Structure 1
Amino acid sequence: MGKEQEVYDLLDSNGITYDVIEHQAVFTVDEIDFDIPDGTEVKNLLLKAKKKENYYFVICPGEKRVNLKALTKKLDEKNLSFASAERLLELLDLTPGSVSPLALYKDKEHKIKLVIDESIDRNKNIGFHPNVNTVTIVINFQEFLKYLKVIGVEPHYVEVPSPE
């Protein structure tokens, strides 16, 4: 079974509604050439604490620049950096450009903490790749929360800081 189909099966089997937008491969939010209907464009970051095996999956508005140093303090860590491509593959079976919280079901040991920027409108739609970067699933935020509950992931809402 393909990585993409696993996500569809999880959503469908749990009655979670979504729409699908097929598109050319995109590797960054800046490359997206379509709008999320009634929604917010988001970006997804997988971060790792430097000296510990703490991982953070951060969802924030697509246009937001993240101040990693300030976020590090907010999360009570010493130093955060982007997880390597190897770690991304090992933890979530993803490659750069396809980073998606929809893959958190693969984190069976719950090593990754999900951090959602408080500024994201929880009444609108958001879009995520279903483990491949040629498709975007558009899902209402409340439906996304249902998905998180199904896979046993508790989101943490934080004001993700921007550079000043």
Structure 2
Amino acid sequence: MEEKFEVSDILTGRPDREISDKEKDCYDMLEKLGIYYERVEFNIFPETLEDLSKSDEKLKMPGIKNLMFKTKNGSQFFLLVLARNEKLDIKEFRVKHGIPKIEMAKDSDLENILNTHSGAVSITELMYDKDNKIKLFIDEKLLEEEYMRFHPNENLSTVKIKMKDFKEKLIPYLEHEINIL
């Protein structure tokens, strides 16, 4: 029988369970920066929009999606963060920002640059982009919210922090400028 997706109640502090080195990196960074966070955990990887909406309800905020693109020749990379229900017009994005044709980044790109895999891309993984290969774009509407949410470098939980901490502490620490999507 297939396991049913479940979301915890709101939790604070790092997990009591064993966590990966990547997840530890994220919690270490948040604590080093003095950023208060709340989180929810999942029993299994979320696979449907229904699963994802359960975490949205617990966090009391809309879902987001992180899309990683690259130019055809692989010379530029772009992390786009937008509301899950927003449609992205790639052609409009490219024209607005003067970007040549782009394609989704490959799993090998995600692994090599962000130490991650498809389905688990998170803004906090920019900590691994030491060469600043990735240009970050965030939907302006998200930046107007009270909170920002992200996976703590693994997709078995979601963390939320105050937008003020996101803009004033986390982004400067990650050394990636926010470009408006």
TM-score for both structures, normalised by structure 1:
0.88
What's the counterpart of residue 30 of structure 2?
A: 11
Contact 2:119/2:155 (CA < 8 Å) preserved in 1? yes
Larger Rg, first or second structure (1 or 2): 2
Moved over 6 A (4+): none
Unpaired runs of 5+ residues, structure 1, are 159-164
Confirm whether residue 73 of structure 1 aligns to residue 73 of structure 2.
no
**1:20: Cα distance to partner?**
1.4
Report the aligned-residue RMSD: 1.8
Letter in 1 for 2:175: G
Contact 1:20/1:137 (CA < 8 Å) preserved in 2? yes
Letter in 1 for 2:38: D
Confirm whether residue 111 of structure 1 aligns to residue 133 of structure 2.
yes
Distance 1:30 1:79, change over 3 A: farther
- Further displaced range: 19-28 or 112-121: 19-28
What's the counterpart of residue 147 of structure 2?
A: 125
Aligned pairs, how many?
Answer: 158
Contact 1:85/1:96 (CA < 8 Å) preserved in 2? yes
Distance 1:122 1:81, change over 3 A: same
Contact 1:20/1:138 (CA < 8 Å) preserved in 2? yes
**1:39: Cα distance to partner?**
2.8
Distance 1:114 1:30, change over 3 A: farther
Larger RCO of the pair (alpha carbons < 8 Å, separation 6+): 1
**Percentage of identical aligned residues:** 28
What's the counterpart of residue 173 of structure 2?
A: 150
Confirm whether residue 26 of structure 1 aligns to residue 46 of structure 2.
yes
Task: Considering fraction of residues, name the structure with more helix.
Answer: 2
Unpaired runs of 5+ residues, structure 2, are 1-19
